[in-house]
Amino acid sequence: MFNFLIPVAYAATDSVVVNNLLNNIIDNIVYPLVYLTMAVSVLYFLWGIMTFVQQAGDSAKRQEGYNRILWGIIGLFIMISARGIIGIILSTMGL
């Protein structure tokens, strides 16, 4: 008589398991990689500033520092955007 409830109960537990798995993957793998990449971008940006200031007399080195500053900012922007997109996706999915 209640055989139709068994597949629904299994589906519910599978959904909980998948949600827990996704949360663990995002919390333990994705976010640390995003934060690590953000830290690398900030360090690259600071390295560019140091190169730009220390080598102000050499035009080629100054351009090299400027390029590092630019790519550091671009990398940081991409990682902040990725963090925001992940947050939007998670809140949309209800995780």
Q: Is residue 56 part of a domain?
A: yes
| CA separation for the pair 27, 55 (Å, rounded) | 41
Q: Is residue 88 part of a domain?
A: yes
Domain count of the fold of the chain: 1
| Segments forming the whole domain that contains residue 50 | 29-93
- pLDDT surpassing 60 at residue 4: no
pTM above the 0.85 mark?
Answer: no
Q: Is residue 78 part of a domain?
A: yes
Q: Is residue 82 part of a domain?
A: yes
Determine the average pLDDT of the residues in 45-51.
93
pLDDT of residue 49: 93
- pLDDT surpassing 70 at residue 32: yes
* DSSP assignment of 19-72: HHHHHHHIIIIIHHHHHHHHHHHHHHHHHHHHHHHHTTT-HHHHHHHHHHHHHH
